[in-house]
């Protein structure tokens, strides 16, 4: 079975205590949506990763379920605890609670479905990833909730038909799939670096910027990049009730997943009906600004939730479903 691994990342620092709205959350202007009264309430984001510390103080009330698809913990499907650190960090960026201590995620009232498809060493199979995606598609919460977003900060060099099909199925089920673009970049826009599943046209591929809003040198460049978000020196939750500062496109993707939860909450409340995945994608791109970098590096630009472009309707039939241009 082909292998999939964590998108490589750097652990910059681990600390026991912090109280802050992380810089990345401030950079994407998440608080501009919070001030309007929208914090992603009850929007479920499935995180396919190394698991999550289920009783972390910032996450304990955010997790609505989980499943272990790996052989870790003797293959116990009910034990989705994080024995790596990566998954807990990603979960915190998306939805760490606004509780007066620790950190705050992009969508602090969103809920997390934790799907452990990667082992403690950060490795998994495409079969496990596909199974986790199918689980997310089929999952229903106690109040009829459905998964609206899948975050995958993982990748590999191979285009696998089964994985691609599972992603198509998720999108057809009205689930937005957000993926880290990959960290094989060399800082040169003309060099093409592909990582799957980010390279699939159905997903939202997220590149990284540093704290000054410049494209990270390690961020992959290719025609599939949709937008960029903060991915360097990102503070978030970490196992052992700790907090860590990590860098990588793995950290950029969950900023977007949390932002999508905010946008779903906002626009479904305003419009009074459920958004399609196509609607969500348009809303997302309408909240980006150009950084002046080549499109292969920044896609449509950097995520800025306090900036809204004039909305343009872009529809393209591809593979029997509505898709967006350049996707």
How do beta strands 63-68 and 111-116 pair? parallel
- Contact (Cβ atoms closer than 8 angstroms) between residue 236 and residue 85: no
CA–CA dist 23, 12 (Å, integer): 15
φ, ψ dihedrals at 40, nearest 5°: 80, 25
Q: From the candidates 86, 255, 287, 300, which is the catalytic residue?
A: 86
Q: Give the helix/strand (H/E) hosting 27.
A: helix 23-27
Q: How many CB atoms lie within 10 A of CB 136?
A: 26
CA–CA dist 108, 283 (Å, integer): 20
CA distances, 69 to each of 23, 74, 164, 207 (Å): 33, 11, 19, 27
Q: From the candidates 49, 72, 226, 279, which is the catalytic residue?
A: 49
CA distances, 93 to each of 88, 148, 207, 250, 257 (Å): 9, 17, 15, 10, 9
User: Token pair of 49, please?
Assistant: 């990763």
User: Token pair of 302, please?
Assistant: 């950097």
CA–CA dist 234, 9 (Å, integer): 11
Q: Assess whether 221 carries a catalytic annotation.
A: no
CA–CA dist 135, 131 (Å, integer): 6
Buried b (16+ CB within 10 A) or exposed e, 179-218: bbbbbbbeeebeeebbbbbbbbbbbbbbbbbbeeeebbeb
Q: From the candidates 130, 250, 257, 293, which is the catalytic residue?
A: 250
DSSP class of residue 38?
-
Q: Assess whether 250 carries a catalytic annotation.
A: yes
DSSP letters, 138-172, are: H-B-TTS-BEEEEEE-EEBS---HHHHHHHHHHHH
Q: Assess whether 82 carries a catalytic annotation.
A: no
Catalytic residues: 49, 86, 250
């Amino acid at each position: 079975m082909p292998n999939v691994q964590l998108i490589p990342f750097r652990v910059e620092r681990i600390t026991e205590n912090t109280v802050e709205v992380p810089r990345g959350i401030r950079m994407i202007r998440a608080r501009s949506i919070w001030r309007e009264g929208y914090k992603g309430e009850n929007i479920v984001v499935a995180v396919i990763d190394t698991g999550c510390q289920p009783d972390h103080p910032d996450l304990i009330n955010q997790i609505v379920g989980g499943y272990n698809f790996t052989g870790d913990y003797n293959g116990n499907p009910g034990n989705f605890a994080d024995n790596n650190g990566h998954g807990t960090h990603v979960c915190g960026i998306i939805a760490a609670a606004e509780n007066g201590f620790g950190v705050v995620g992009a969508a602090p009232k969103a809920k997390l479905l934790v799907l452990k498809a990667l082992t403690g060493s950060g490795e998994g199979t495409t079969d496990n990833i596909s199974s986790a995606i199918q689980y997310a598609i089929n999952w229903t919460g106690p109040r009829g909730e459905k998964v609206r977003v899948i975050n995958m900060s993982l990748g590999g060099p191979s285009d696998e038909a089964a994985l691609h099909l599972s992603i198509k199925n998720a999108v057809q089920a009205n689930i937005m799939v957000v993926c880290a673009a990959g960290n094989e970049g060399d800082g040169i826009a003309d060099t093409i670096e592909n990582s799957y599943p980010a390279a699939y046209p159905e997903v939202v591929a997220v590149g990284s910027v540093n704290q000054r809003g410049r494209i990270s040198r390690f961020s992959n460049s290719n025609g599939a990049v949709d937008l960029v978000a903060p991915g360097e020196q990102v503070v978030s939750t970490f196992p052992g009730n700790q907090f860590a500062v990590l860098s990588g496109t793995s950290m950029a993707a969950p900023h977007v997943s949390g932002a999508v939860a905010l946008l779903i909450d906002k626009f479904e409340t305003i419009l009074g009906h459920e958004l399609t995945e196509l609607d969500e994608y348009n809303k997302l791109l309408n909240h980006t600004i150009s950084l002046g970098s080549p499109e292969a590096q920044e896609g449509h630009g950097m995520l800025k939730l306090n900036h809204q472009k004039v909305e343009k309707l872009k529809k393209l039939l591809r593979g029997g479903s509505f898709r967006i241009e350049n996707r």
